[in-house]
A and B are shown apart, each in its own frame.
Chain A
Amino acid sequence: MQDGYTTADGRKIGGVVMEMKNITLRFGGVVAIENISFDIREGEIRAIIGPNGAGKSSMLNVISGFYIPSEGEVWYRGEKRPQMRPYKVAQQGIARTFQNIALFEGMSVLDNVMTGRLGHMKSGLFAQALWKGKAEAEEVVNREVAEKVIDFLEIQHIRKTPVGRLPYGLKKRVELARALAAEPKLLLLDEPMAGMNVEEKEDMSRFILDVNDEFGTTITLIEHDMGVVMDLSDRVVVMDYGKKIGDGTPDEVRNNQQVIDAYLGVSND
């Protein structure tokens, strides 16, 4: 498996991008994640599922550097990642969205998307104070990338609208746009379809597949809608009470007895 594999629909999946090795995360006496290992391969859509409180979001927070694991190692692109602040992780090409939308409400959609480009904009304080010249040129170059993303996600009509005025479904899309604008190698989506109706879910699924397809972005997502997860993802990690109880293709996971038990419950006799 080291060289990757080919998916059912014929996409080539590359080598390991990110590997979680024996991650344990404790908050005081509470064990949120217990000794979990799994890998994320280049170009795949990797899902993390599990019942409420299983530790899925904590896992995503570990990947994005927001939580520091109590034990275990995070390997990113063949190197062990040292402890680093979340903004450094972002600069390494990992972008994410949040379960409860975390947009900058006071800014316009365009400005929100442009914040995703921060890591690519290097002009200093004095260049920006002058504006004309370097800062403006850089702004234009990055604006073009941001506009591409805005086009891609079909939110052109609201680019100048303050985010606070948008409905929920659009906010989710803007958040995805902000993450995409960073041109990430690895995109983490925390419940991208939570609270959406069927049509919005279909739109969002299409965007996720398109992102993976067109930009070759590796995607890791958490989702509760099993239909969506099984359709979208190439491989699934199943968590329950902080432990990994299953890992494999959607079909394998679906037939895993432990997974069925976790979701449906086990009778006690």
Chain B
Amino acid sequence: MFYREAGDFKTSYEQDNQTFPIKFDRYRYYVVLAIAFLVVPFVINDYWANAILLPFLIYAIASIGLNILVGYAGQVSLGTGGFMAVGAYACYKLMTAMPEVSMFIHVLIAGGITAGVCVIFGLPSLRIKGFYLAVATLAAQFFLVWLFNRVPWFYNYSASGQISAPERDVFGILITGPNAPAWATYMFSLIFLTFCALVARNLTRGTIGRSWMAIRDMDIAAEIIGVNPLKAKLTAFAVSGFFIGISGALFFSVYLGAVEVGEAFGISKSFLVLFMVIIGGLGSIFGSFAGAAFLVLLPVVLKVVGVDVLGWPTDIVAHFQLVIVGALIIVFLIMEPHGLAQLWRVAKEKLRLWPFPH
């Protein structure tokens, strides 16, 4: 009813290649951007930032990264936690070694370093795929966490073995450390998320995205058609690692502030991001947002409903959350392997004609 594409004609291929080819979608996208940039920073408080918005923004970056690898290029990875740790530690080392350089640059370089590490651990993908590759990336996960625990150079020989973010500012506004205002940390993360989402969209709609998807759908045919499998797979690992590294750097510096590597970037983190990608929708940028929002909001909603409304004990609610997430994963894998993004797509297709289906 409110969703119409009739009369929305394209007269050039540029127009047809837009991110949001339908006018309605495009305006909604501008509205969402405007709210995110112009309204939210003024109404945000510490609770909203720390419980919902920051984790959402940062996990959304991570799941875009993982979605490129798993959803677009079809290379399964269970090393996300380890790669986020690389981003975090790279960012930490850069922040402490070069305090005068802008945080924007630190985070970007941390992403670049993670991309390099990711490519190295992606090399086995040239020989193995599927479950075997998953196991190989699992090795990356455990190795990286072990490395950051064992080599004191990475945590600057601090007694606790933790890393904690020193106070850094951007244009005179604190964005790390306990005194950083909520809106500043939010804006900082939002800028990176917007940047990552745009880059991811641009890459996936063009040649590189098509060669990734060709490798995913049928690697032999892709090679015979002229896709260089080595290049396609390794760029997927690199781009994915870049985003995951950025999210790891933000997760540590802006969100947590202090990190113990096994706790913050353990195997459960890898699975959490993978669940976001699966529930949100493999091979969809929007799905990465949806999955991240879903898994960030779920515990909050459950807590509000269970503890505050129903008055259940906290630990029971926490256990319920595990049960529900587990059940949802199974339901999604069976009923809708393309996740929330596919549900959204189906809803849109239905709404095109509603309420006059003929």
Residues on A lying within 8 angstroms of B by beta carbon are 64-66, 85-87, 89-91, 95-96, 98, 102-107, 111, 114-116, 118-119, 121, 123, 125, 128-131, 135-136, 138-140, 143-144, 178, 182
Contacts and interface: CB of A to CB of B under 8 A. Distances in A.
Contact of B224 (A86, A125, A130, A135): A86
A47 B8 CA distance: 47
Nearest to A163: B217
Contact of B217 (A90, A106, A139, A144): A106
Nearest to B74: A106
Contacts of B214: 104, 107, 115, 118
Most buried by B among A103, A107, A129, A139: A129
A26 B290 CA distance: 52
Contacts of A129: 199, 202-203
A217 B120 CA distance: 42
A118 B208 CA distance: 9
A87 B213 contact: no
A145 B216 CA distance: 25
Contacts of B208: 125, 128
Nearest to B215: A104
- Interface pairs A-B: 4 shortest CB-CB: A90-B226, A102-B221, A104-B217, A131-B202
Interface of B: 12-14, 17, 199, 202-203, 205-208, 210-211, 213-214, 216-218, 220-229, 235, 239, 283
Contact of A85 (B14, B202, B216, B223): B223
A136 B226 contact: no
Contacts of B239: 125
B194 to A, nearest CB: 14
22 contacts: A85-B223, A85-B228, A86-B223, A87-B223, A87-B224, A90-B225, A90-B226, A106-B216, A106-B217, A114-B210, A115-B211, A116-B225, A121-B207, A125-B235, A125-B239, A128-B203, A128-B207, A131-B206, A139-B13, A140-B12, A140-B13, A144-B13
Contacts of A131: 202, 205-206
B221 A98 contact: yes
Contacts of B210: 107, 111, 114-115, 118
Given A118-B210, A131-B202, A182 B225 contact: yes
A128 B202 CA distance: 6
Given A87-B224, A115-B225, 13 more contacts: A85-B223, A85-B228, A87-B227, A91-B226, A104-B222, A107-B214, A107-B217, A115-B214, A115-B222, A118-B211, A125-B239, A178-B225, A182-B226
A118 B225 contact: yes
B13 A118 contact: no
A143 B211 CA distance: 16
Given A64-B224, A90-B225, A128-B208, A143 B13 contact: yes
A249 to B, nearest CB: 30
B227 A115 contact: yes
Most buried by B among A90, A114, A130: A90
A160 to B, nearest CB: 9
Contacts of B17: 136, 139-140, 143
A106 B281 CA distance: 13
A211 to B, nearest CB: 17
B217 A105 contact: yes
Contacts of B223: 85-87
A136 B14 contact: yes
Nearest to A95: B225
A98 B223 CA distance: 13
Contact of A111 (B14, B213, B220, B221): B213
B241 to A, nearest CB: 13
